[in-house]
Structure 1
């Protein structure tokens, strides 16, 4: 899959699933391959069958939520990511991505406070998730909390220096701060001093 030889990967996964039907992680990887091929219905079927076989299979719930996000079915994705999160402990490092996914869904559904809370939880578990910093920066930016936005944009930039969205958002934030508070920038404003 990583070398983009999807047809060969598909053959291997199908063989593996036929010979080792109990190997649930193989189903997750196969569903990811199907999503790359944009075979969303088939991927959904594979993931639902994995959940039916094991209703505590956290990764299957997570991938199903990702699938629903990618097919504009965020409300359905919300149910599944919440189920995945319910199977987490707060000290489990791998759960950080579940909170990021929940934040993405909440943001998509315009529940910005919930999204911010989920991104914060993800960053408490793993402070090195550029995507969470970026989206938390966006939320703070939209809500006029420019110092917080700048902090998270800079963290995202440090983690992913070539991310064009981060660079563009930093540029927009600079323009907005300079335009809206030009008077303050001539004084002692903390926000303006950081530029």
Structure 2
């Protein structure tokens, strides 16, 4: 296994562990873990996406959106951040956030999200 594959596997495991922590309501411990991973992998979109989820769960919408956008700036192909930015950028609540690529749905194209018969385009 190459170093790149090892890094990807470690980040995927982190996302799965963070998902478990968030679903069990352990935000503080998850936040600490994500901060550590963010400093270890500063060029990875994974920890920024997770931080966005944590901020959204805590009601800090603006901060969450910043982290989702940071994740996409680091990797424009990273689907979990793209889906979370699309979902949390709309008025269509509730919805399930994407921790991993397997959590992503296929109907989100990244440009706009259709909801209740109208198209909502993000200006952020």
TM-score w.r.t. the length of structure 1 is 0.42
Match of 2:85 in 1: 102
User: What's the secondary structure of 1:26's corresponding residue?
Assistant: helix
Contact 2:90 2:113 in 1 (8 A): no
Matched, 1:34 2:17: no
Higher helix share: 1
| Offset of residue 76 of structure 1 | 1.1
Higher Rg of the two aligned structures = 1
Match of 1:136 in 2: 113
> Aligned partners of 2:29 and 2:37: how far apart in 1?
13
Q: Identify unmatched segments of 5+ residues in structure 1.
A: 1-22, 109-127, 144-195
| Offset of residue 86 of structure 1 | 0.4
RMSD: 2.6
Any idea what the Cα deviations from partners look like across 1:28-78, whole Å, max 9, x if unmatched? 322211111101111111111100111112111112112222221111111
Higher relative contact order by CA 8 Å / sep ≥ 6: 1 or 2?
2
Match of 1:71 in 2: 58
- Superposed counterparts of 1:1-195, under 5 Å: 23-89=10-76, 92=77, 95-107=78-90, 129-130=106-107, 132=108, 136-138=113-115, 140-141=117-118
| Offset of residue 96 of structure 1 | 3.3
Any idea what the Cα deviations from partners look like across 1:134-171, whole Å, max 9, x if unmatched? x822164378xxxxxxxxxxxxxxxxxxxxxxxxxxxx
Higher strand share: 2
> Aligned partners of 2:33 and 2:118: how far apart in 1?
39
User: What's the secondary structure of 1:137's corresponding residue?
Assistant: strand
How many residues get paired?
A: 96
Contact 2:86 2:113 in 1 (8 A): no
